[in-house]
Structure 1
Amino acid sequence: MTPVEEMLALARAQLDRVTAHEVAELEDALVVDIRPVHNRATEGEIPGSVPIERIVLEWRLDPRGEHRIDGFTEDTVVVVVCNEGYSSSLAARDLQTLGLTRATDLVGGFRAWLAAGLPVREGPTPAIT
């Protein structure tokens, strides 16, 4: 196993990852799309998701930070979405470190959402920076 594969495995061991259909069933979850704008423009977005640039993710989701977005608490389920479910696992692990103990990610990322035939809104929605 390569170092990045080990890092990914350790991150995923801390997460209760969810499938696309499970995300669709979640109520009161904050779904955060960290994909680049060109992916969101080409493929669309999960309805109700909030696009947040990966480079500011921790600042916008620090539950006690002055630069945080509204609409979530430390108890909120936060589901991070990337293209295929790799960088989202690392991001969700980082959010847990910040105190969002229910942070997780979408298995297979946005591509799994598409493959499941779930609804998509046209994008891109302006990302939170």
Structure 2
Amino acid sequence: MQQLSVAGVDRVLDEARRGIRRYSPQETEAARLRGALVVDTRTETQRAETGELPGAIVIDRTVLEWRLDPASDARIPEATGYDVEIVVVCRQGYSSSLAAQSLRRVGLHRATDLAGGVEAWLAAGRPLHRGEADVRR
């Protein structure tokens, strides 16, 4: 019987982050101001509990690649090419690293994530807001 090689989530996460420069909260805001897409993948419940990230586009993790791949028929209008700068955000910066790696594998070579997620954003004193979000289905 053949043994399966098990990577484990920690190794997969390390591989996703290898060689990638992750952004701080300040760098994420600077990227947004220069035109990067800041993409919040947190669940509706997480966003309701904490608040919305200013200027972010909300895309459910289950459709992220299809909404951001410029070659996809399901892309959002902002997915204009493979050179678009994208900063993925989640609650703590774990699933966003995996999502950014997936986007890079699609060809979006400038995809990265917010190190520490929204929790780091709040710890840095950055604002969140209550109200409507720019949710893309």
Partner of 2:46: 39
Partner of 2:4: none
* 5+ residue gaps, structure 2: 1-6
SS of the residue corresponding to residue 38 of structure 2 reads: strand
> Match for 1:66 among 68, 73, 89?
73
> Match for 2:90 among 70, 73, 82?
82
* Alignment deviations for residues 33-89 of structure 1 (CA, whole Å, 9 cap, x no partner): 000001111111211100001111111111211100011321111000000000000
Q: Pairwise CA RMSD of aligned residues?
A: 1.4
> Larger RCO: Structure 1 or Structure 2 (Cα < 8 Å, ≥ 6 residues apart)?
1
Structure with greater Cα Rg = 2
**Contact 1:41/1:123 (CA < 8 Å) preserved in 2?**
no
Partner of 2:62: 55
Q: Which amino acid aligns with 1:67?
A: A
Q: Which piece of structure 1 moves more, 64-73 or 98-107?
A: 64-73
User: Matched residues in 2 for 1:117 and 1:4: separation?
Assistant: 30
SS of the residue corresponding to residue 127 of structure 1 reads: strand
SS of the residue corresponding to residue 135 of structure 2 reads: coil
SS of the residue corresponding to residue 79 of structure 1 reads: strand
User: Matched residues in 2 for 1:114 and 1:124: separation?
Assistant: 19
Length-normalised TM-score, structure 2: 0.88
Partner of 1:128: 136
SS of the residue corresponding to residue 51 of structure 1 reads: strand
Change in Cα spacing, 1:22 to 1:16, as seen in structure 2 (3 Å) is: same
> Match for 1:117 among 115, 118, 125?
125
Tell me the CA shift for residue 127 of structure 1: 2.9
Q: Which piece of structure 1 moves more, 112-121 or 102-111?
A: 112-121
Tell me the CA shift for residue 126 of structure 1: 5.8
> Match for 1:6 among 3, 11, 15?
11
Tell me the CA shift for residue 122 of structure 1: 1.4
How high is the sequence identity, in percent, across the aligned residues?
48
